[in-house]
Amino acid sequence: MSGETITLYEAIGGDATVKALTHRFYALMDTLPEAARCRAIHPADLSGSEAKLYDYLTGYLGGPPVYVEKHGHPRLRSRHFGASIGPVERDEWLLCFSRAMEETIPNPKLREIIWPPIERLAHHMMNRET
């Protein structure tokens, strides 16, 4: 045993897994009836949103800081201020993310590590109470 630490990015499978996760996330958002309100606050074409989430998650999980290199500091809450995000949109977003993780990250322990900060982030993004 080398004692070497690896990042979550490496542990889940790197670039291929982050791409699969973000692609599946937006596919679910685009097709699940129970994600309709979350989908409605996104642009008609999800490709830009998918690319930005991919960039963000890459760095967030310990991979290259591509989001920061392309867009600067994430400032996620201010970047999403134009979208009306309440409990329903938050929960629908979390539903899509959870399902996408289950389908693309086979290791349940890794999903357990990733989930709490993602859940906190979703709660932080809310900008209305109802």
Instruction: List CB contacts of 67: < 8 A, sequence separation 6 or more.
Output: 52, 55, 56, 58, 59, 60, 74
Count CB neighbours of 55 within 10 A.
22
* Residue (of 58, 65, 53) closest to 28 by Cα position: 53
pTM of the model: 0.91
Higher pLDDT, 82 or 118: 118
* Span 45-50, average pLDDT: 96
State the pLDDT confidence band at 6, using cuts at 50, 70 and 90: very high
Predicted local distance difference test score (pLDDT) of residue 128:
87
Give the pLDDT of residue 111: 98
Model pLDDT for residues 62-99, shown as the tens digit of each residue: 999 999 899 887 777 666 667 889 999 999 999 999 99
